[in-house]
Amino acid sequence: MKDRIETLKGYLKRLGNGEPLEAVRKDFVEVFKDVDPAEIMKAEQEMLAEGTPLSDVQKLCDVHAALFHGKTREEQIANAERAVHASTLREERETKTRELAQIKGHPLWLFANENGALAMLLEQAEEKIKDGSANKKTLESLRGISIHYAKKGDLLYPVLNVRYGISGPASMMVGLHADLSDSAFVKKPFDRVSRTDSRGRFTIRGIAPGKYHIFGLMDGNQNYLYDSKTEMIAFCDSIIIPSMEAAVRQDTLWKDTATIDTIKTVGYTRFLPDNIVLRAFKGINNRQYLSKSERDKENHFILSFSAPADTLPVLKGLNFDEKDAFIIETTPRNDSICYWIKDSLVYQMDTLEVQLDYLYTDTLNRLVPKTDTIYLANKLTREQREKLQKKANEEKEKERKKREKKGDTIRVEPTKFLTMNVDAPSAFDIYRNIYLSFEEPVASIDTAAIHMEVKVDSVWQPAPFFFMADSLMPRQYQILADWQPEQEYQLTIDSLAFIGIYGLHTDKVQQTVKVKKMDEYGTILLNIKGAAPHAVAELLDANGNVLRQQPVTEEGTADFYFLNPSTKYYIRLFNDHNNNGVWDTGDYDKKIQPEEVFYFPKVWEMKANFEFEENWDVNAIPIDKQKLDEIKKQKPEETKKVQDRNKERARKLGR
């Protein structure tokens, strides 16, 4: 395998020496008549990693394509069949792929259906181009192709990297532009490229003297330029001027593990700059379009849009009356809207036909009115629902007859209540609230039916509290109180306190909680140096999830109290330049970098009644070395892999 890849690289050298392309093509076809595509992919990866110019790699693509030029469709099919059956393993994978593609909702099922739809769009576009009827609308209909392949890149490339060690597009491409204009990144392929390794490091070799702009690109569609907001990017504000200088380093030879034999001074060439740090980000996609319409349950449907909006879409029912038909739930960004259907006669319909008027971003990046007709099908048809109901009635009748034979003729049907989930653990944390959540929207609330009591000398006494709707989570409410440590509280909610939109009401609920002691918690106190005037410290768990946020004070402090013991905590900080309390991404068009993020290179194994006070200079350690490996989503290569690679390089050099 390795020899074949080296041979592939040899063809590139021949091209670089000026040998005619056709002569190289001829040799390539003779030697690699049955070449596995994986070999070509591996060779391309290695050449890019070694700093091979992009133009040479593109020539290899031409040679690769020559394998198929001039062949009939029958020959292509025959070659494909031979390639599929060449390996038992490959055949098994193909079979498994076909099976997964038949599972509704699986990513392969989605891709297969999208491929079919895109093929039809392309055929229609070709026909319109041939007969001269193609227009702007024809081109707009093809825009989904780039979205489709960006989606594939986001889902498939990380799997290839993690499971099979194929870096490919899963790693960040780093490239140079000698053209210093801002438009080069979006209009021209890179002059020279490399890829990051598992630690995010990169090296670009063979650079001619000059001035360059440097960029990072997660190239989803593989065209070597930034042309989609879905692609992750990075850019450097300053111009890069490659240089070199003579330098020395000291190599230590050891007699044994404890005794130094010789310290040698070794000269080497140091290539500069060698300290470039690029901060990758995915820009805000402001292109507005309807990304998904889904009726996951019969009584509601969800419309998802690609970007936030200032206004809600306007709905018109084509086979039902839309006036006062919905309870509408929105996210703060209005990019996901849930419509609860109030009328049972409407939501029992097999398909709802809806005319949707909303703002859409056209090819000129303008928000223009757009009208779509969507069809929201019930997962179960009326016939299927009636069949299930009939089966349920039959089961009830069988049960009734069994009871009748035993002489048990009286049975009261249980009352159906509105489901209410009460999140109030018996061992209650002093810093948290009680949460009430519902499976459907609430039509009315009787706050007088909600009672909070505290136990004082074994006697329950009324305790003040606040009741409020959650600003972020629809159908969720909070109960807040001034919880005191070691105190016992009792929450009582009378029946009929909450009534849902379909007429169901809640049952009576009574739940007791006891607030934990103060000495059951730990504390982390931070003295921070080097942060921006507005900064936010975040407490993370072992999965990198944010548990709490704390603004850094003017004195440079941020404190986290009431931390549970036997828990690992990590800390991150971002400079909140616009003082909005959230981390903001970058914008290449406006030349805005993402807000800086720093990690405290330490993990705290919290203990009860422990207090940790830490001094943290956010710039003391290079930013690329701060984040601990255990909370990185992409783990670095194991040491053994690095050692094996170095051994292979030494073997090639004859050492």
Q: Encode 601-639 in three state secondary structure.
A: CCCEECCCCCEEEEEEECCCCCHHHCCCHHHCCCCCCCH
| Mean pLDDT across the chain | 83
Query: Is 583 a residue whose pLDDT tops 80?
Result: yes
Specify the pLDDT at position 469: 94
pLDDT band at 75 (very low <50, low <70, confident <90, very high): very low
pLDDT band at 206 (very low <50, low <70, confident <90, very high): confident
List, for residues 384-394, the tens digit of each pLDDT value: 777 888 888 88
pLDDT band at 85 (very low <50, low <70, confident <90, very high): very low
Query: Is 590 a residue whose pLDDT tops 80?
Result: yes
List, for residues 220-257, the tens digit of each pLDDT value: 777 788 887 778 899 999 999 999 999 998 888 888 77
pLDDT band at 68 (very low <50, low <70, confident <90, very high): very low
Query: Is 167 a residue whose pLDDT tops 80?
Result: no
Long-range contacts of 46-51 (CB under 8 A, 24+ apart): 46/5, 46/9, 47/9, 47/12, 48/193, 48/194, 48/195, 49/167, 49/194, 49/195, 50/205, 51/192, 51/194, 51/203, 51/204, 51/205, 51/206
pLDDT band at 32 (very low <50, low <70, confident <90, very high): low
Query: Is 151 a residue whose pLDDT tops 60?
Result: no
Token pair recorded at residue 502: 């379909």
Percent of the chain exceeding pLDDT 70 equals: 78
At residue 174, the 3 state secondary structure works out as strand
Better-scored residue on pLDDT, 399 or 70: 399
Specify the pLDDT at position 655: 55
Percent of the chain exceeding pLDDT 90 equals: 45
Specify the pLDDT at position 456: 94
Query: Is 195 a residue whose pLDDT tops 80?
Result: yes
pLDDT band at 172 (very low <50, low <70, confident <90, very high): confident
Query: Is 305 a residue whose pLDDT tops 80?
Result: yes
pTM of the model: 0.67
Specify the pLDDT at position 84: 43
Least confident of 94-98, 156-160, 221-225, 505-509: 156-160
List, for residues 401-426, the tens digit of each pLDDT value: 787 777 776 666 778 999 999 999 99
In which order are the strands placed within the sheet that holds 367-377? 314-317, 351-361, 367-377
Average pLDDT over residues 255-274: 86
Number of H helices, E strands in the chain: 13, 33
Specify the pLDDT at position 100: 76
CA distance 350 to 375: 10
Query: Is 454 a residue whose pLDDT tops 90?
Result: yes
